[in-house]
Structure 1
Amino acid sequence: MAMVTNSEITMLNNLKPYKTTWKVEVKVIRSWSQQSNYSGENTFEFLLEDMMGSEIYCTCKRIFLARVKNLQVGQWRFLENFSVYPAIGMYRLSGHKFKISITQCSIVTNSSLTTCEVPSIDHNKESSSEDLPTSGSKRKEGDADLNDMNSTSKKLCG
């Protein structure tokens, strides 16, 4: 039986730890493997960004790697059914207060977005949040303060 997926897309700034059926549309900014001396287990790590420029850290244990094999740097994907945990520790890769963890139920599917289609965000204009499509979620006033102003992923296609 196929798993029913969530059709509503959530912006990264709106993720909360109380459920696991989120659906986000993200681009992979960076990916790498990580060896843990503590557990001896390899993990795969990702830095993800949504169309609003919000970034979040994502981790995946080796046993779930097949679930995220389509997460490739620079590509837009839908990511569904994952866990959200508080991001703690001194060395955080994003300013987001949560992190994503891939689970046995996680699904990655292709998005129709390309880097060229995502509008460039002018964080200095208040009206910019009204001009951007948000795929079902409304951007709150003040969210621009949470975005990474130095992200290199917002380059225009040339």
Structure 2
Amino acid sequence: MAMVTNRKISFVSNLKPFKISWKIEVKVIQKWTQLSNCSEGDTLEFILEDKMGTSIHCICKSLFVDRVKDLHVGEWRVVENFSLIPAIGFYRRTSHPFKISIIDSTIVTEPSSTSCEMIDHNKDYEKGVGSSSSSSKRKEGDTDLNDTNSPAKKLCCRF
């Protein structure tokens, strides 16, 4: 079994299919079994949501069901090493352009009890010339206020 990594947790909205080494902290919103007549068998499916409220559809083929045995509705979990596939079709479970597919190296663990800093993969794009961040739009007297709209500034805390 693969080991848990020290990677920073990413936001669901930042997930892109160029790698499988993502690490997200999500809450299970829905869980169901999708019956199928194909040779691969039934799938276990989930709707997962991160702390920013972004949801994503997750599918798990019967071959990898043991990997997601710790995903229960209403509980927070850290999910690492999964693939992303396009969410296509007329009826989509979420508005996210991709869905998570559980693979043989996927790891599901309980989140740590300490606070963790979330990583914002879009921060490089915000540094462009002529762009203004939400903090630069604040009034002069508001410099000590936290920027609650910036995902790069948010911290997740476990109580």
TM-score over 0.5 for the pair: yes
Displacement of 1:134: 4.1
Q: 1:130 to 1:19 in 2, by over 3 A?
A: closer
SS of 2:89 mapped into structure 1: coil
**Partners of 2:155 and 2:90 in 1: how far apart?**
32
Q: 1:16 to 1:2 in 2, by over 3 A?
A: closer
After superposition, what is the alpha-carbon deviation per residue over 1:114-136, rounded to whole angstroms, capped at 9, x for unaligned? xxxxxxxxxxxx9532496245x
**Amino acid aligned to 2:95:** G
Q: Max radius of gyration: which structure?
A: 2
- Structure 1 runs (4+) deviating above 6 angstroms are none
Residue 43 of structure 2 is matched in structure 1 by: 43
* Unaligned residue ranges in structure 1 (runs of 5+): 114-125, 136-158
**Partners of 1:134 and 1:88 in 2: how far apart?**
32
**Partners of 2:20 and 2:2 in 1: how far apart?**
17
After superposition, what is the alpha-carbon deviation per residue over 1:46-102, rounded to whole angstroms, capped at 9, x for unaligned? 000000000000000111011010000000000000001111001100000010000
**Amino acid aligned to 1:7:** R
1:129 pairs with 2:129: no
SS of 2:79 mapped into structure 1: strand
**Partners of 2:150 and 2:14 in 1: how far apart?**
17
* Unaligned residue ranges in structure 2 (runs of 5+): 114-137, 139-146
Displacement of 1:39: 3.9
Q: Given the two structures, how large is their TM-score scaled by the length of structure 1?
A: 0.71
**Amino acid aligned to 2:99:** K
Asked whether the equivalents of residues 4 and 107 of structure 2 are also in contact (C-alpha less than 8 Å), the reply is: no
Asked whether the equivalents of residues 34 and 43 of structure 2 are also in contact (C-alpha less than 8 Å), the reply is: yes
Displacement of 1:4: 5.5
**Partners of 1:61 and 1:48 in 2: how far apart?**
16
Residue 12 of structure 2 is matched in structure 1 by: 12
Q: 1:4 to 1:70 in 2, by over 3 A?
A: closer
**Partners of 1:4 and 1:108 in 2: how far apart?**
9
Residue 100 of structure 1 is matched in structure 2 by: 100
Displacement of 1:40: 5.8
Counterparts of residues 1-158 of structure 1 (less than 5 Å): 2-3=2-3, 5-39=5-39, 41-112=41-112, 127-130=147-150, 133-134=154-155
SS of 2:63 mapped into structure 1: helix
